[in-house]
Structure 1
Amino acid sequence: MNLLRRSLLVAPLALACAIATAQSESGYPNKPIKIVVPFAPGGTTDLLARIMAQRMTTAWGQPVVVENRPGVGGTIGANMVAKAPADGYTLLLGTAHHTIAQAVYKNVPYNFGRDFAPVSVMAMVPNVVVVNMAVPAKTIQEFISLAKSRPGELNYGTAGAGTAHHLIGELFQLQAGVRLVHVPYKGSGPAVTDLIGGQVQVMFDTVTSALPQVKAGKTRALAVTTAKRSSALPDIPTLAETVLPGFDVGTWFGLVAPAGTPAPVVQKIYGEIDRTVKDPDVRRQLLEIGAEPIGSTPAQMGAQIQAELDSYKALATKINLVVE
């Protein structure tokens, strides 16, 4: 077959494929969509996924279902989505835990910065320094003074090694010049129980998780870890405005798709997220649980992910943290 004849045969086929792809993208979605939540039901990740699923179903007339795939710091569900077709029909409700996992886990079966297409950060949940009520410190300044006077004697609980609680705690120690003892638990719930009971003295918990105990007077909030105060705890100062200028770390939640998902599909999903987080009822619902609505663009989310991958990798290297 000569080159001209081959070209004449291939060109119509390429054109047909391009037309089919364009039609598929413009008709998105034309079948059910799945949002994978890589954690157990009931948490902030699950709640946000279900809010988006309901909104997408109503807006697009296609079922959007939430599937919980918990395990190994959120990496099992993430790996499932990384290997899914890049067509916008399988999405991941990702969190800051995924940028941390990439930095500290020894064997992650995907690359979070390379194998996913960022869509939008839906919300940011600040973390908060909370202490057992028997701890004499009433302010973050007093707590740092106490920790410096008792190096290696105060315990801090986390939801497990390599979680946001853990990394924020390590960063706090580095910048504050204190030495705490890390006590990892299998989830935030057991850690909070022991914080209330006094087995650990401090946590760097999410506002969402810490809020009920703080309001009930079972724990004491000292400082918020993000640059801005939490609207759920407006009277609690930030670390940045009190003792650690520039300290700005929180836990984000957002949608990502498999890498290679067509840009028009990503943009359509982003548009629905943007409309959702601007809805007054949704904003009220998020703020009530301590989540700050965001709605960042795909480009903004991509930049944030890369910055976190770099910073957490540097921190993990500095403290020699590797999770098997």
Structure 2
Amino acid sequence: MNKRELLRTGAFACAAFALAGAGQAQDFPPKKPVTMVVGFAPGGAADAAARLIAKKLGDNIGQSVVVDNKAGAGGNIAHQLVANGPADGSMILLGSIGPLTIAPHMMKVGYDPFKDLAPLSGGVNFPNVLVVNANSGIKSVADFVALARKEAGSVTFASTGPGSASHLTGELFAQQAKVEMTHVPYKGGSAAMPDLLAGRFTAYFAAPPTALPHIESGKLTPLATTGLARPAYMPNVPTVAESGYPGFEALNWYAFVASAKTPAPLLDRWNQEIVKVLNDASIREQLLKHGLTPQPTTRAELGDFIRKESAKWGAIVRDRKITGE
């Protein structure tokens, strides 16, 4: 074999090796268990949605999908983990409004939502519900605002962390109601709720799955929901917009993303599988029972949505001069 033939043979071998490597990199489902990372502690809205969806995804793809709760920093830790994580499709993230569209405007984070994370599909959305301890004596938004004005700065509200949706919803409310409230960050809804039930802070813009059991038991009083329309599961609770603040809207949402280094065919396949699960009648029914509205999208639709939300909440961060705590 002459030199030219050797070179040609080597080139073919390299090309074949590269193609084989690309094929292996794009194996679906991945050959190892899939990790679905969640940025909050077990027991909250994100965790409830993740576990329902992960189970069905695993059944559909024939591979285990394990929920991994990485609480802390309002979900930023989980987002950085996935941004720097494996790019073989074995790790996906149920991302959230805070780390994807709010926190980057407030503080230095270890990832760029638009460069380091790739959109897969929308997940779920829901309004928060402003709740207080039933023993507080507060019965309405008007009562709450009156207290905040009477005792400036003494009214406290919890959140799932600096830059989270519950934090910014409280800031938006304070802006529109022209009151001052003290922010008390937690590592998730399941961590905040026991302290609200114990009366350790005044109020919480809570996710419905976290608040509904305690509303139904009579331990919490719901004052208002934060969407433009009343949700079907709380038809007798007014919206903030109906309570004297027209146009007030602050929806919470979770969406699926992965490392931006992941090959496009794998990202597209995850989109197909997630959309399939979110459109499944039994999954939709279970999510709706938790107060979570399924929001399947294309990858492009999710990317556009995240950019619009980033612009909206970035303006609030600047106006309220909010920084990481």
Counterpart of 1:58 in structure 2 is 59
Counterpart of 1:28 in structure 2 is 28
Is 1:31–1:63's contact at 8 Å kept on the other side of the alignment? Answer: no
Counterpart of 2:106 in structure 1 is 104
Structure 1 window deviating more from structure 2 (183-192 vs 163-172): it is 183-192
Q: Counterparts in 2 of 1:1-324, with a 5 A limit?
A: 16=16, 19-20=19-20, 23-24=23-24, 27-32=27-32, 33-99=34-100, 100-105=102-107, 107-189=108-190, 191-323=192-324
Is 2:39–2:78's contact at 8 Å kept on the other side of the alignment? Answer: yes
Q: Supply the distance in 2 between the matched residues of 1:163 and 1:69 (Cα, whole angstroms).
A: 15
Is 1:123–1:291's contact at 8 Å kept on the other side of the alignment? Answer: yes
Q: Supply the distance in 2 between the matched residues of 1:202 and 1:57 (Cα, whole angstroms).
A: 38
TM-score in terms of structure 1 length: 0.85
Is 1:93–1:253's contact at 8 Å kept on the other side of the alignment? Answer: yes
- Deviations along 1:25-84, whole A, 9 cap, x unmatched? 775224122222233333332333233332222222233233333332222222121112
* SS of match in other structure, 1:117: strand
Give the direction of change, closer, same or farther, for the CA distance of 1:319–1:292 in structure 2 (3 Å limit): same
Report how far residue 15 of structure 1 moved: 5.8
* SS of match in other structure, 1:257: strand
Is 1:118–1:302's contact at 8 Å kept on the other side of the alignment? Answer: yes
Report how far residue 186 of structure 1 moved: 5.0
Report how far residue 128 of structure 1 moved: 0.8
Gaps of 5+ in 2: none
- The code of the aligned residue for 1:315 comes to I
Identity of aligned residues (%): 38
Give the direction of change, closer, same or farther, for the CA distance of 1:13–1:162 in structure 2 (3 Å limit): same
Give the root-mean-square deviation of aligned CA atoms.
2.9
Q: Supply the distance in 2 between the matched residues of 1:155 and 1:249 (Cα, whole angstroms).
A: 19
Give the direction of change, closer, same or farther, for the CA distance of 1:49–1:10 in structure 2 (3 Å limit): farther
Give the direction of change, closer, same or farther, for the CA distance of 1:26–1:236 in structure 2 (3 Å limit): same
- The code of the aligned residue for 2:31 comes to K
Give the direction of change, closer, same or farther, for the CA distance of 1:37–1:132 in structure 2 (3 Å limit): closer
Give the direction of change, closer, same or farther, for the CA distance of 1:297–1:234 in structure 2 (3 Å limit): farther
Is 1:160–1:186's contact at 8 Å kept on the other side of the alignment? Answer: yes
Report how far residue 169 of structure 1 moved: 0.5
TM-score in terms of structure 2 length: 0.85
- The code of the aligned residue for 2:88 comes to D
Is 1:25–1:264's contact at 8 Å kept on the other side of the alignment? Answer: no
Is 2:53–2:283's contact at 8 Å kept on the other side of the alignment? Answer: no
Q: Supply the distance in 2 between the matched residues of 1:242 and 1:248 (Cα, whole angstroms).
A: 12
Q: Supply the distance in 1 between the matched residues of 2:291 and 2:322 (Cα, whole angstroms).
A: 29
Structure 1 window deviating more from structure 2 (293-302 vs 149-158): it is 149-158
Is 1:93–1:254's contact at 8 Å kept on the other side of the alignment? Answer: yes
- Deviations along 1:261-289, whole A, 9 cap, x unmatched? 33332222122222212222212211222
Q: Supply the distance in 2 between the matched residues of 1:14 and 1:246 (Cα, whole angstroms).
A: 61
Q: Supply the distance in 2 between the matched residues of 1:83 and 1:257 (Cα, whole angstroms).
A: 10
- The code of the aligned residue for 2:61 comes to W
Structure 1 window deviating more from structure 2 (108-117 vs 255-264): it is 255-264
Give the direction of change, closer, same or farther, for the CA distance of 1:115–1:9 in structure 2 (3 Å limit): farther
Is 2:44–2:189's contact at 8 Å kept on the other side of the alignment? Answer: no
- The code of the aligned residue for 1:71 comes to G
Is 1:231–1:287's contact at 8 Å kept on the other side of the alignment? Answer: no
Is 1:127–1:205's contact at 8 Å kept on the other side of the alignment? Answer: yes
Q: Supply the distance in 2 between the matched residues of 1:134 and 1:53 (Cα, whole angstroms).
A: 38
Is 2:116–2:260's contact at 8 Å kept on the other side of the alignment? Answer: yes
Structure 1 window deviating more from structure 2 (190-199 vs 232-241): it is 190-199
Q: Supply the distance in 1 between the matched residues of 2:202 and 2:310 (Cα, whole angstroms).
A: 29
Is 2:125–2:293's contact at 8 Å kept on the other side of the alignment? Answer: yes
Q: Supply the distance in 2 between the matched residues of 1:208 and 1:304 (Cα, whole angstroms).
A: 24
